[in-house]
Protein backbone atom coordinates (compact mmCIF):
# COMPACT_ATOMS: atom_id res chain seq x y z
CA UNK A 1 0.00 0.00 0.00
CA UNK A 2 1.19 3.49 -0.79
CA UNK A 3 2.60 5.74 1.92
CA UNK A 4 0.61 8.81 0.87
CA UNK A 5 -2.88 7.20 1.03
CA UNK A 6 -4.26 9.74 -1.43
CA UNK A 7 -2.87 12.78 0.36
CA UNK A 8 -1.54 14.44 -2.78
CA UNK A 9 -2.44 17.73 -4.45
CA UNK A 10 -3.93 15.84 -7.39
CA UNK A 11 -6.22 13.80 -5.16
CA UNK A 12 -7.30 16.78 -3.03
CA UNK A 13 -8.07 18.86 -6.12
CA UNK A 14 -10.13 16.09 -7.68
CA UNK A 15 -12.08 15.59 -4.46
CA UNK A 16 -12.75 19.34 -4.18
CA UNK A 17 -14.08 19.52 -7.75
CA UNK A 18 -16.20 16.39 -7.24
CA UNK A 19 -17.63 17.79 -4.00
CA UNK A 20 -18.52 21.01 -5.80
CA UNK A 21 -20.23 18.93 -8.49
CA UNK A 22 -22.29 17.03 -5.93
CA UNK A 23 -23.35 20.27 -4.25
CA UNK A 24 -24.33 21.93 -7.54
CA UNK A 25 -26.21 18.83 -8.69
CA UNK A 26 -27.98 18.55 -5.35
CA UNK A 27 -29.07 22.17 -5.45
CA UNK A 28 -30.43 21.64 -8.96
CA UNK A 29 -32.52 18.71 -7.70
CA UNK A 30 -33.85 20.60 -4.67
CA UNK A 31 -35.18 23.56 -6.63
CA UNK A 32 -38.90 23.68 -7.28
CA UNK A 33 -39.40 22.85 -10.11
CA UNK A 34 -36.33 20.66 -10.51
CA UNK A 35 -33.74 22.42 -12.67
CA UNK A 36 -32.14 19.72 -14.79
CA UNK A 37 -29.71 22.16 -16.37
CA UNK A 38 -28.07 22.85 -13.00
CA UNK A 39 -28.18 19.14 -12.19
CA UNK A 40 -26.32 18.23 -15.40
CA UNK A 41 -23.76 20.98 -14.75
CA UNK A 42 -23.09 19.21 -11.44
CA UNK A 43 -22.73 15.88 -13.22
CA UNK A 44 -20.28 17.47 -15.66
CA UNK A 45 -18.25 18.85 -12.74
CA UNK A 46 -18.05 15.36 -11.24
CA UNK A 47 -16.76 14.03 -14.55
CA UNK A 48 -14.31 16.95 -14.74
CA UNK A 49 -12.87 15.82 -11.39
CA UNK A 50 -11.51 12.72 -13.12
CA UNK A 51 -9.93 14.89 -15.80
CA UNK A 52 -8.42 17.20 -13.15
CA UNK A 53 -6.92 14.21 -11.37
CA UNK A 54 -5.53 12.74 -14.58
CA UNK A 55 -3.95 15.99 -15.73
CA UNK A 56 -2.44 16.79 -12.33
CA UNK A 57 -1.10 13.25 -11.99
CA UNK A 58 0.60 13.55 -15.39
CA UNK A 59 2.11 16.88 -14.23
CA UNK A 60 3.68 15.10 -11.26
CA UNK A 61 1.35 16.28 -8.51
CA UNK A 62 0.44 12.70 -7.58
CA UNK A 63 3.80 11.90 -6.00
CA UNK A 64 4.52 12.11 -2.32
CA UNK A 65 6.78 15.00 -1.29
CA UNK A 66 8.49 13.04 1.55
Separation of first and last alpha carbons in the chain: 16
Average pLDDT over residues 2-7: 68
Residue pair 16/53 in contact by the 8 Å Cβ criterion: no
The number of angstroms, rounded, from the C-alpha of 45 to the middle of its chain's C-alpha atoms is 7
User: Average of pLDDT values for 21-25?
Assistant: 98
Under the banding of pLDDT at 50, 70 and 90, the label for residue 62 is confident
Average pLDDT over all residues of the chain = 91
Amino acid sequence: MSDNHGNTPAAWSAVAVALLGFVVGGVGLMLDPVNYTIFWVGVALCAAALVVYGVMAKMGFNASSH
